[in-house]
């Protein structure tokens, strides 16, 4: 089996990366950063997002594993003190593949082909300055004209991240859906938005059309921020692609939610 390892880059993560590397090489596994079958992320959820985007063109051939060097993360089910067991599992045991939905986004600009992106957590639409004004179109039907600081469109696994901070719902990642959450919408006697998160199934396409085509937007795709002008429309839907995780043991989603946001024990 071919494997690759990504690291947060701090001393602790780099040391654990080296230990995992040496153990797996001792089991005669092959280190291959270009075409791995398993990618091990050592660090936090930010490191995992970086690993995901590094191998975004090979999602059908790769399974991911997360080792968290802090407290337990949403994408990491192994801790540093468990790496010996992890290595034995990788080398000796079969694993279950668990798939999570992703978000597909197309940015359409004047006189160019659309730019296509995948997000594991979310994408957000903001402006460099002033309020965002967008027509929101769901399944080809005009839904509302949004005015406010911006919109967050998240995956189920990303619903515990920026989306939750905005007051969005937490969605189990077994559901193929996307969620649209407002950022400080303007609501008065003149302007109205729905004022609550929207959860859309995988057969719905949502299109966001700027009212002023000369607006200058800040678009984020997970940890990546892009400054883009002359946007005609932004189209979001549940992606056809999915991310695959290698699971050697149960990793209950609601336990992660409880441990992260409710329980005093980490």
What distance in Å separates the CA atoms of residue 140 and residue 132, rounded to the nearest whole number? 21
- Determine whether 236 is exposed, middle or buried from the number of CB atoms within 10 Å of its CB (0-12, 13-18, 19+): buried
The answer to whether 142 and 135 are in contact (CB under 8 A) is yes
Upper half-sphere CA count for residue 28 (Cβ side, 13 Å):
1
Among 45, 77, 89, 222, the active-site one is 45
45 part of the active site: yes
The residue among 48, 101, 143, 113 whose CA lies nearest residue 244 is 101
The answer to whether 148 and 211 are in contact (CB under 8 A) is no
Annotated binding-site residue numbers for NAD(+)? 45-46, 50, 121-122, 147, 149
- Determine whether 42 is exposed, middle or buried from the number of CB atoms within 10 Å of its CB (0-12, 13-18, 19+): buried
Residues present in the chain in total: 266
Neighbouring CB atoms inside 10 A of 10's CB total 13
Active site residues: 45
């Amino acid at each position: 089996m071919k494997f690759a390892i990504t690291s947060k880059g701090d001393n602790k993560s780099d040391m654990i990366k080296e230990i995992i590397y040496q153990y797996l090489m001792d089991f005669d596994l092959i280190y291959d950063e270009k075409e791995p079958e398993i990618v091990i992320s050592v660090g936090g959820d930010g490191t995992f997002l970086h690993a995901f985007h590094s191998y975004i063109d090979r999602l059908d051939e790769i399974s991911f594993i997360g080792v968290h060097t802090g407290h337990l993360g949403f994408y990491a089910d192994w801790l540093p003190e468990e790496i010996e067991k992890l290595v034995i599992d990788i080398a000796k045991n079969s694993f279950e593949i668990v798939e999570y939905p992703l978000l597909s986004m197309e940015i359409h600009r004047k006189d160019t082909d659309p730019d296509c992106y995948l997000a594991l957590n979310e994408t957000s639409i903001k402006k460099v300055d002033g309020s965002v004004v967008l027509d929101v179109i769901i399944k080809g039907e005009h839904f509302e004209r949004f005015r406010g600081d911006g919109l967050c469109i998240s995956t189920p696994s990303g619903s515990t991240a920026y989306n939750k901070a905005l007051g969005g719902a937490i969605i189990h990642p077994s559901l193929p859906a996307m969620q649209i959450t407002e950022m400080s919408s303007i609501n008065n006697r003149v302007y109205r938005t729905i004022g609550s998160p929207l959860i859309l199934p995988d057969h719905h396409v949502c299109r966001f059309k700027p009212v002023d085509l000369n607006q200058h937007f800040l678009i984020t795709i997970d940890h990546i921020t892009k400054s883009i002008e002359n946007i005609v429309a932004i189209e979001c839907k549940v992606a056809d692609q999915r991310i695959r995780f290698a699971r050697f043991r149960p990793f209950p989603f609601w336990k992660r939610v409880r441990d992260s946001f409710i329980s005093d024990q980490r």
